[in-house]
């Protein structure tokens, strides 16, 4: 198996609550649904469409603190209606990537019904192959062994790929969830949202859809 800088657990870390908080201005439209839109590349200026300008202060705040090995910046916005995207089951962010890489850093924020966290020690068995098996499915099967707590609304949290979390299933619309991600590699899959100010380099990637449950 190719290997090696892929996060391998144990999973179940606490997130980091941030006490120095960049402000979040109001989202300028009633509905905005963006998944991992690239807004910055190494050595290039921030490229923000007008609808994302409300996040500029927060992005710059975190970008000036990001380590040099995480130069790719992505934004996720789920604002307005709640769409069923599988984010209400236990999962981690920045794990199921075909290319092994050092851990990314994500900053998340919710206006209400904030993210829940599952804390414990979740170590996948040796037979777990990240190129074949779905980590989220495995985490569901072990969740009873962990401790659940909920973050605070309107508060930024920093997450590594070892932090297990989910959107509370009872969250009601309208709701705003924000995520700013700092990565060491470029994402070029076909489910991310294209930034109209940047070249479209997306390509088909059925990798994640092919993952299965590890029966163990």
Q: Which residues bind Fe ion (CB under 5 A)?
A: 93
CB of 87 to Fe ion, least distance (A): 6
Smaller CB distance to Fe ion: residue 93 or 134?
Answer: 93
Angle value at C-alpha 195, between 190 and 199, nearest 5 degrees: 80
Q: Find the shortest distance in angstroms from Cβ 121 to Fe ion.
A: 20
Q: From CA 9, how far away is CA 131, in angstroms rounded?
A: 15
> What string of DSSP letters covers 99-163?
S--SPPEEEEEESSSPPEEEES-B---TT--TTTB-HHHHHHHHGGGSEEEE--TT--EEE-TT-
CA distance 148 to 125: 22
Residue nearest to Fe ion (CB): 93
User: For residues 71 and 106, which CB has a smaller minimum distance to Fe ion in the complex?
Assistant: 106
Q: How far is the CB of 96 from Fe ion (least distance, A)?
A: 11
DSSP annotation of 193 reads P
Judged by CB, which is closer to Fe ion: 42, or 86? 86
* Nearest to Fe ion of 72, 117 (CB atom): 117
Nearer to Fe ion, 58 or 68 (CB): 58
Residue 34 backbone dihedrals phi, psi, to 5 degrees: -130, 135
CB of 63 to Fe ion, least distance (A): 20
**What's the closest the beta carbon of residue 192 comes to Fe ion, in angstroms?**
14
Of the two residues 13 and 93, which places its CB atom closer to Fe ion in the complex?
93
φ, ψ at 172 (rounded to 5°): -115, 155
CB of 85 to Fe ion, least distance (A): 9
Between the alpha carbon of residue 177 and those of residues 43, 95, 97, 102, 131, the distances in Å are: 28, 20, 22, 25, 29
């Amino acid at each position: 198996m190719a290997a090696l800088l892929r996060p391998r657990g144990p999973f179940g870390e606490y997130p980091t609550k941030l006490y120095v908080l960049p402000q979040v201005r109001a989202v300028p439209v009633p509905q905005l649904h963006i998944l991992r839109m690239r807004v910055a590349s190494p050595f290039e200026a921030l490229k923000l469409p007008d609808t994302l300008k409300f996040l500029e202060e927060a992005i710059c705040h975190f970008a000036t603190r990001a380590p040099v090995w995480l130069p790719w910046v992505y934004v996720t916005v789920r604002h307005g209606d709640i769409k069923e995207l599988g984010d209400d089951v236990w999962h981690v962010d920045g794990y199921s990537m075909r290319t092994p890489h050092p851990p990314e850093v994500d900053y998340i924020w919710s206006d209400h019904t904030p993210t829940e966290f599952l804390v414990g020690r979740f170590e996948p068995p040796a037979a777990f192959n990240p190129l074949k098996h779905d980590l989220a499915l495995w985490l569901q099967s072990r969740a009873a062994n962990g401790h659940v707590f909920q973050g605070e609304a309107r508060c930024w949290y920093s997450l590594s790929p070892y932090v297990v979390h989910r959107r509370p299933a009872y969250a009601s619309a309208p709701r705003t969830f924000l995520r700013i991600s700092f990565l060491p590699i470029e994402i070029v899959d076909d489910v991310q949202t294209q930034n109209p100010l940047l070249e479209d380099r997306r390509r088909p990637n059925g990798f994640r859809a092919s993952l299965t449950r590890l029966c163990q």
